[in-house]
Homo-oligomer: A and B are copies of this chain.
């Protein structure tokens, strides 16, 4: 009677499949619509299987958010190594938000996951370094100014990305987010001499 068994008892890489399914649900219905049972259904396993890998719902979302911060850090690192320009790191931030909407939408909703999780904190700090560090170098030599510039830069690109994803920016910005982000970001650091 086991002739039509399609899937084995052991999934093989269920953990990854669950992460993928979670991303899918977030992309379709938003981070707050994620349910462990729906995720389990999409992965083709029983309703309690996700709990084994992630403990609880917050654990699942913590894993997705951590993955997101890691991917973001890699994107920012890539932009820095390719261009060396701080402006382009900001543009890469926005590009990440657009091409990884689901991850990004979850990453800044700390009430949905465990914001104090050590791995998550480490991944977040790794990403933050690419925004704080270069900003300090790119601005004057005064003590507090570097940090202020970093805050301003991160605030601008982060605000731009979140407003964009929530549909709060004009159609032109939605059509070509990268160009709009570059124009907006160029208002910092005196690059707007036109």
Contact = CB atoms under 8 A, between A and B. Distances in A.
Interface of A: 29-33, 105, 108-112, 115, 124, 128, 140, 142, 144-145, 147-149, 151-152, 154-160, 162-163, 166-170, 172-173, 180, 183-185, 187-190, 194
Contacts of A167: 110, 115
A125 to B, nearest CB: 10
Contacts of A109: 32, 109
Nearest to A166: B110
A110 B109 CA distance: 12
Given A30-B112, A115-B166, A187-B189, 6 more contacts: A32-B32, A32-B111, A109-B109, A151-B180, A151-B183, A155-B156
A160 B168 contact: no
Copies in the complex: 2
Contacts of A189: 187
B111 A31 contact: yes
A149 B112 contact: no
B108 A166 contact: yes
- Ranked 5 nearest A-B pairs via Cβ: A159-B159, A30-B111, A155-B159, A158-B159, A155-B160
A27 to B, nearest CB: 11
A63 B187 CA distance: 36
Contacts of A151: 160, 169-170, 173, 180, 183-184
Nearest to A111: B30
A154 to B, nearest CB: 7
Contacts of A148: 180, 183-184, 187
B162 A152 contact: no
A63 B184 CA distance: 32
B32 A112 contact: yes
